[in-house]
Structure 1
Amino acid sequence: MHTRSVLRALGALVLASTALWSQTAALAQSQTLRVGVRGGVDEEIWEVVTKVARRNGLEVKPVVITGSASPNEALNNGDLEANSFQHIPFLNDQVKQRGYKLVSVGNTYISPIAFYSKKHKAFKDLPDGARLGIPDDPSNQTRALVVLRDQGVLTLREGFDPFKGTATLADVTGYKKKVQLVEAASVVLARSLEDVDASAIVNTFAYQAGLIATRDGLAVEKKENNPYVNIIVVREKDRNAAWVKPLVQAYQSEEVRQFIQTRYQGSVLPVF
């Protein structure tokens, strides 16, 4: 009698689990998920994500947003179900400035900023008084300063947290190595590498110059605990929607990981 009761209970549990899975799958398949992306890397990766998702019963349609059109505005207005093009500081600034009700639901990849040089083979080879180029825009200047902090070149103000704000030269509290920091636009840094000892160049322009962070970088930003990891974003009200988890899982699949590693050869790094 006891055995029969246990079997009945197990049977009921299996049926309940099957019903729940079927309900979730049905909800997830009830619409085509429009995901806003930028052209280039994100567009290429999401072509693979779409195939993985479809095999798992989820229909995804990447929508390439061009020009000055905002993927966050489109998402907030309900023209998209998700987007995938930005990192956390950018999203936080957009939420603060524009009042968007958007949240991150999963990590994708990082395009690491790195210091490159045509004069030196290693960061330790930089001479005293080395001229180091750093980006003049807030987010990328922050990234460059964090790399220099991690390399033991300088210190930043106490309590600085890149997840909560940016850093400028005014936040440098001391130097452990004698260097001269030269601010310039990222595109200028990439084109004038011969004029300095080393420059921090964002991946977009480094890649165009034939430079890959993990191969050519003298010092590369860390993946761990890094706010500049790119993310998948949805509306706050959809945070727990049935399709969110399957969508993130499709992106964070081994097939997508292998594609990123093979296609971009270290200039784009999966963070999942």
Structure 2
Amino acid sequence: MTDQISPPSDSDIELKKKSRWPWIAGAVVVVVAIVGGIVYATSANEDKPFGTNLKVATWSTDIAAEDLLKFITDEVAPAHGITIEPTKIDNLIEINRAVDAGTVAGNFFEHQPFLNDAIAANGFHLTLAAPTFTWDQASYSDKYRSWEQVPNGAKIALRDDPAGQAIALLDLAHDKQITLKPGKDTIKGLPQLSDIQTNPKNYQFVQVPIGQLARSLADVDVIVVHISDVYAAGLRENQIIAREPAPKGSEGGLVVSDKHLDDPNVQKLIATFKDPKIAEFLQTTDNELIRNTLGPINP
């Protein structure tokens, strides 16, 4: 979000030079001090080794990954000689920037296609070091109960980011609602709307930011999405018209900085997120939120 700054009033402009210059000089000193502190904090953290207490960030609205991280923190990490400190970050750029800068040891909210977008846009040096789970996919509607009922020309909402859009299109292709151009029918091809080859029912596609998808259901016929993207907003099983498997290559997991890959405690963190206890928990848990939205990675 861009902060809006009000233009100065006439009385502000008419400040006398004698009184204005001391304030300006003081402000410059403060700004230099603040900027210097930020630069120091970043440079001090990015190469600094971690101790055995490691912060791992989740995106603030992904409550399924947050619940899974709690299980890993309580039941898996102690056996690997580390303590995990879960941390919430509500900005999808800053959650990767925090890992890149060494403010946190890792994050636990994204798959490789989304990470690729973040790296390309921001120059981060990050690695998906431990794929851990899959996101269940689904198509939701308040008007229809199956794809067969969805009419020609229906409005279909999907995420507006390249990674989320690609997975939604692969879901639609899986459900035989569209076909994709050759080479664009896998997650590696990262299909976008321009890569649709056939659209037999002439669907109208609406691109929506991830945080607005659940609310957009009232204005469209169907949304296609990770279940965990909309679960916290109250969408439920009786609104699902089709479930789709997570495309191969879209597994979520632990992301760490390339600069810390050789850190012994980060290696312990990676081993923690690769522990087979996690897959067993995903298959057997009584936690309804996790059971309805996440799944283990198939070998």
The TM-score normalised by the length of structure 1 is 0.72
Equivalent position of 2:56 in the other structure = 35
CA distance in 1, matches of 2:225, 2:273: 32
Letter in 2 for 1:235: S
Equivalent position of 1:77 in the other structure = 101
Equivalent position of 1:98 in the other structure = 122
**Contact 2:132 2:297 survives alignment (8 Å):** yes
User: Once the 2 structures are TM-superposed, how far is the Cα of residue 44 of structure 1 from its aligned partner?
Assistant: 2.4
Equivalent position of 2:253 in the other structure = 231
| 1:35 aligned counterpart, secondary structure | strand
Cα deviations by residue, 1:205-261 (Å, 9 ceiling, x for unpaired): 35523323xx6422223135142x212112235446541223421772524553475
Cα deviations by residue, 1:17-63 (Å, 9 ceiling, x for unpaired): xxxxxxxxxxxx96223222233333322221112234414222234
| 2:248 aligned counterpart, secondary structure | coil
CA distance in 1, matches of 2:117, 2:170: 19
| 2:224 aligned counterpart, secondary structure | strand
The verdict on how the C-alpha distance between 1:53 and 1:97 changes in structure 2, with shifts beyond 3 A counting, is same
Structure 1: segments with no counterpart, 5+ residues: 1-28
Residues 58-137 of structure 1 mapped to structure 2, 5 A cutoff: 58-68=81-91, 70-127=94-151, 129-137=152-160
CA distance in 1, matches of 2:280, 2:203: 43
The verdict on how the C-alpha distance between 1:121 and 1:34 changes in structure 2, with shifts beyond 3 A counting, is same
CA distance in 1, matches of 2:230, 2:193: 23
CA distance in 1, matches of 2:234, 2:288: 19
| 2:292 aligned counterpart, secondary structure | coil
Percent identity among equivalent residues?
Answer: 22
User: Once the 2 structures are TM-superposed, how far is the Cα of residue 201 of structure 1 from its aligned partner?
Assistant: 4.3
Greater mean deviation of Cα atoms: 42-51 or 104-113: 104-113
Equivalences, count: 239
The verdict on how the C-alpha distance between 1:192 and 1:92 changes in structure 2, with shifts beyond 3 A counting, is closer
CA distance in 1, matches of 2:117, 2:75: 32
CA distance in 1, matches of 2:126, 2:216: 38
Residues 1-272 of structure 1 mapped to structure 2, 5 A cutoff: 31-39=52-60, 40-68=63-91, 70-127=94-151, 129-138=152-161, 139-160=163-184, 162-164=186-188, 166-175=190-199, 177-185=200-208, 190-191=214-215, 193=217, 196-203=220-227, 204-212=229-237, 216-227=239-250, 229-239=251-261, 241=264, 242-243=267-268, 244-249=270-275, 252-255=278-281, 257-259=283-285, 262-271=288-297
CA distance in 2, matches of 1:193, 1:36: 29
**Contact 1:34 1:61 survives alignment (8 Å):** yes
Deviation beyond 6 Å, 4+ runs, structure 1: none
Structure 2: segments with no counterpart, 5+ residues: 1-49
Letter in 1 for 2:275: Q
CA distance in 1, matches of 2:192, 2:254: 28
User: Once the 2 structures are TM-superposed, how far is the Cα of residue 189 of structure 1 from its aligned partner?
Assistant: 5.1
Letter in 2 for 1:210: L
The TM-score normalised by the length of structure 2 is 0.67
The verdict on how the C-alpha distance between 1:100 and 1:57 changes in structure 2, with shifts beyond 3 A counting, is same
| 1:36 aligned counterpart, secondary structure | strand
**Contact 1:112 1:220 survives alignment (8 Å):** yes
Greater mean deviation of Cα atoms: 235-244 or 37-46: 235-244
Letter in 1 for 2:230: F
User: Once the 2 structures are TM-superposed, how far is the Cα of residue 77 of structure 1 from its aligned partner?
Assistant: 1.9
